[in-house]
Amino acid sequence: NFMLTQPHSVSESPGKTVTISCTRSSGSIASNYVQWYQQRPGSSPTTVIFDDNRRPSGVPDRFSGSIDSSSNSASLTISGLKTEDEADYYCRSYDSNNPWVFGGGTKLTVL
């Protein structure tokens, strides 16, 4: 089984850009798509990135996803930070034996 490791927390000021990493412990990050979910306090998760770098309809283009094979990690970048972006963010990927593997989550504080 592989693991996805995220930083526990990140913080940044409004208007700035923040990047959250998601490192895969084994197997190639590029072999299986990565998704990113946003979970605001008291709410259910919503998808902000799917298929590594695609945004669902309605998600602003301030959100972007990328893959870096050299570090075997995925990243979620949020530009032009707003207070409403304050939330927990989870990455997720899979392989043939593990259909749904989540990262531990990253708490984003916009201060």
Partner 1 sequence: EVQLVESGGGLVKPGGSLRLSCAASGFTFRNAWLIWVRQAPGMGLEWVGRVKSKTDGGTIDYAAPVKGRFTISRDDSKNTLYLQMNSLKTEDTAVYFCVIVYYSVPYWGQGTLVTVSS
Site residues, partner 1 (CB under 8 A): 33, 35, 37, 44-47, 50-51, 54, 56, 90, 92, 99-105
Of residues 4 and 16, the one with the C-beta less far from partner 1: 4
**87 with 38: CB under 8 angstroms?**
yes
Of residues 1 and 70, the one with the C-beta less far from partner 1: 1
Q: Which two tokens stand for residue 101?
A: 């593997």
Of residues 18 and 91, the one with the C-beta less far from partner 1: 91
**Minimum distance of partner 1 from residue 64's CB (angstroms):** 16
Pick left, alpha or beta for residue 29 (phi over 0 → left; psi -120 to 50 → alpha; otherwise beta).
alpha
**Distance between CA atoms of 26 and 11, rounded to whole angstroms?**
28
**23 with 3: CB under 8 angstroms?**
no
**Minimum distance of partner 1 from residue 70's CB (angstroms):** 26
**Minimum distance of partner 1 from residue 67's CB (angstroms):** 16
